[in-house]
Each structure stands twice: as structure tokens, then as C-alpha cells.
């Protein structure tokens, strides 16, 4: 646990609960930058289904309090969209809930372990959290129900944001909880997944759903136009990687030389370096989600950031 976290600026504002459909809520945490994720929940007569936890004890307790402001029923089910700690570290605070995730999510959480000091970011106060693994896992998907409302939990089939992403689709309401396949206002991050795979998933899995309301993993609630926005960035990464390799540049050099254009306004722009590491590896034949030197890529993201740790307000 860190003793000196970076204080969030006042303009970030407070998290909010937004009812996106009858009995279906998004929990939006501004500003959606590093380790500040969105969650969501379905409130039914038999209990609450939560989609993801938060990164720290304080943030997860605030989220649980927000749930109780809507429903006095217990959280009976917690679904993790993928293994990253901003979506899973708070699992242990959902006492009595069945924790559901893809089988690879459990494996990746086990490999990473409990919250720990992270040298690449400004200090984070995780609080008193322990590792709490999913204990109901699936290979392809599972259906959960909030009263008569069908909630389809689907593994996306290939590496994308990570190797183990799932979406939560409510077909009767045309509502999609996309996890970190989609960011709004923030730079997508593919270092631990696949640029090519993310494009494939968005084009062949996400877009055909025809979702009218999308809750991204970070940033504000959106409509289907967000899918094309993210696809545009992912193709930009691929184009930059091809040009950089042709010019004999390293991923860091290519990142420093490229004009981000409209993407420069996205939060956490240093992710271009990690994304290029993944795109370079794929051009070299590394399979989707295949092993690359993640620590070196993160170190170069810090270098791109002027040698300063990446800012986190979690």
C-alpha cells in the first residue's frame, strides 16, 4: 500500500450512477484515466448483478454504497470482464457474491497476484485488499438473469484488449457493457492483447450487435459511433507501426516522431508506445496475445512521458 497517492484534481468530479435502461445502471468514474474504470449493475428482485469491481478499497466501497442507494438487495453475482486490477482488485469486498469470469481471467489474475506497488505509475493507495479469484469460469460464455432480463456474458474469442476479454450484452434492451474493448475520451490500450485482434472483435463481434447504448470500460456512456472512433485509432496504430518498421525505427522512436493528430487529445497518450510494441510484434509474426516484453514497453511509456511516472488518480 502506498502512503502518498497523487490527489485527484477537483475538476474530475464524483462518480455517478446512470440508469441506462429500466433496472440497468452504469457507474461512471471520471476521468476514466489510468486505473479509474467504469462498472455497472442490474438490480432485480432476487438480488444485484455487478459488472466489474474497482481498483482500490476506497473506490470499491464507494461503488458498493452507490449500489445500496438503488437497491437494498445483496450483490449475488459479480462478473469480471477481464483480469486487469482496476476491474478486479476490489473483488474481495463483494462478500457472498458468486464471482464469474472467463477461465483465462482467473489464470491471469493468479499470475499477477494481489495489489502491489507499481513502479511505472504515481503511487496508488490500494487499501486493504486481498486477491479474490473468480470461482465460476467459462470457456465461451454464460447467461445470467435479472428477473426476466437476459444478460449474455460472452468471451470475444480472441486476444483484444487482453487475452481474456468478455462483453455483457442485454439483447432486449440493446445495452452493451464493453469492458476495455472500448474507451471514450481515453487512449485504447492493447499492450497485453492484440491490435489486430481488437479490430477483428470490434468489426465482427461488437458492431454486429447493433447496440444503441454502450458503457465503455473507461469514459462516458456512448452510442454505436464509439466503435468506429476506436477502430480509427487502432488502424492508426497499425499504419504507424508499418511506417516505423519500414523506416528502421523502434516503437519508442516511432511514437516520438508520429503526429497523433486528433488522438493527441485523448487521455494517457503515452499508450501509443505500448500499442506500437504490440503492433510491431504482430508484424514480426507474434500471434495475438503472444508473449512480449511488457515491462520494457511500460518503461518506454515512462520515457515517452518525459521520464515521469504515469499519472494515476485512483
Q: Which of 10, 11, 65 is nearest to 41 (CA)?
A: 65
Provide the β-strand partners of residue 26: 18, 40
* pLDDT score recorded for residue 6: 87
At 246, phi and psi to the nearest 5?
-60, -30
pLDDT for 1 = 38
Which of 1-10, 161-170, 300-309 bottoms out in mean pLDDT, i.e. has the lowest?
A: 1-10
CA-wise closest residue to 24 among 196, 189, 211? 211
Q: Which pLDDT score is estimated for 161? A: 99
CA 276 to chain centre: 18
pLDDT for the residue 11: 75
Find, among 27, 24, 75, the residue nearest to 50 by Cα. Answer: 75
Domain-located, residue 291: no
Which 3 state secondary structure label does DSSP give 217? strand
Asked if residue 77 is part of any domain, the answer here is: yes
Report residue 59 as a C-alpha cell: 473506490
- Is 80 exceeded by the pLDDT of residue 183? yes
Most distant CA pair in the chain: distance in Å? 60
| Domains held by the chain: number | 1
**How does DSSP assign 58-115, residue by residue?**
HHHHHHHHHHHTT--S-EEEEE-SSS-HHHHGGGGGSTTPEEEEEHHHHHHHHHH-S-
Query: Residue 144: its pLDDT value, please?
Result: 98
Judge whether residue 277 has pLDDT over 60: yes
pLDDT for 2 beyond 60: no
CA angle 5, 121, 36 (to 5 degrees): 70
Has residue 270 been placed in a domain?
Answer: no
Q: What is the pTM of this model?
A: 0.96
Domain that holds residue 28: 10-236
Provide mean pLDDT across the span 209-218.
98
Query: How high does pLDDT run on average in the chain?
Result: 97
Say if 222 falls within a structural domain: yes
Does some domain include residue 269? Answer: no
The pLDDT confidence band at residue 9, using thresholds 50, 70 and 90, is confident
pLDDT in the model for residue 253 = 98
Residue 193 inside a domain? The answer is yes
Q: Decide if 250 is inside a domain.
A: no
What is the domain-level CATH number for residue 36?
A: 3.60.15.10
Residue 59 contacts residue 90 (beta carbons within 8 Å):
yes
At 49-74, the pLDDT tens digits run 999 999 999 999 999 999 999 999 99
Amino acid at each position: 500500500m502506498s502512503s502518498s497517492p497523487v490527489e485527484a484534481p477537483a475538476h474530475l468530479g464524483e462518480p455517478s450512477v446512470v440508469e441506462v435502461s429500466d433496472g440497468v445502471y452504469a457507474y461512471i468514474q471520471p476521468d476514466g484515466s489510468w486505473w479509474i474504470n467504469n462498472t455497472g449493475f442490474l438490480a432485480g428482485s432476487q438480488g444485484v448483478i455487478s459488472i466489474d469491481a474497482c481498483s482500490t478499497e476506497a473506490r470499491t466501497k464507494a461503488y458498493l454504497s452507490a449500489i445500496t442507494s438503488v437497491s437494498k438487495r445483496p450483490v449475488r453475482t459479480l462478473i469480471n470482464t477481464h483480469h486487469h486490477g482496476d476491474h478486479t482488485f476490489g473483488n474481495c469486498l463483494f462478500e457472498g457474491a458468486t464471482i464469474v469470469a472467463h477461465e483465462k481471467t482467473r489464470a491471469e489474475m493468479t499470475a499477477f497476484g494481489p495489489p502491489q506497488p507499481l513502479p511505472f505509475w504515481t503511487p496508488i493507495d490500494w487499501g486493504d485488499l486481498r486477491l479474490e479469484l473468480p470461482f465460476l469460469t467459462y470457456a465461451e460464455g454464460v447467461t445470467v438473469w435479472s428477473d426476466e432480463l437476459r444478460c449474455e456474458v460472452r468471451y470475444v474469442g480472441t486476444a483484444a484488449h487482453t487475452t481474456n476479454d468478455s462483453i455483457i450484452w442485454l439483447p432486449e434492451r440493446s445495452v452493451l457493457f464493453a469492458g476495455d474493448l472500448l474507451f471514450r475520451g481515453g487512449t485504447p490500450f492493447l499492450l497485453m492483447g492484440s491490435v489486430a485482434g481488437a479490430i477483428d472483435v470490434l468489426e465482427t463481434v461488437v458492431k454486429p450487435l447493433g447496440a444503441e447504448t454502450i458503457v465503455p470500460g473507461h469514459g462516458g456512456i456512448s452510442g454505436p459511433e464509439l466503435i468506429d472512433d476506436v477502430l480509427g485509432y487502432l488502424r492508426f496504430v497499425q499504419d504507424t507501426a508499418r511506417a516505423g518498421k519500414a523506416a528502421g525505427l523502434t516503437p519508442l522512436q516511432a511514437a516520438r516522431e508520429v503526429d497523433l493528430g486528433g488522438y493527441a487529445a485523448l487521455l494517457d497518450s503515452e499508450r501509443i508506445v505500448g500499442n506500437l510494441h504490440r503492433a510491431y510484434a504482430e508484424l514480426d509474426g507474434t500471434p495475438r496475445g503472444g508473449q512480449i516484453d511488457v515491462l520494457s514497453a511500460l518503461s518506454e511509456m515512462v520515457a515517452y512521458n518525459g521520464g515521469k511516472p504515469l499519472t494515476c488518480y485512483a
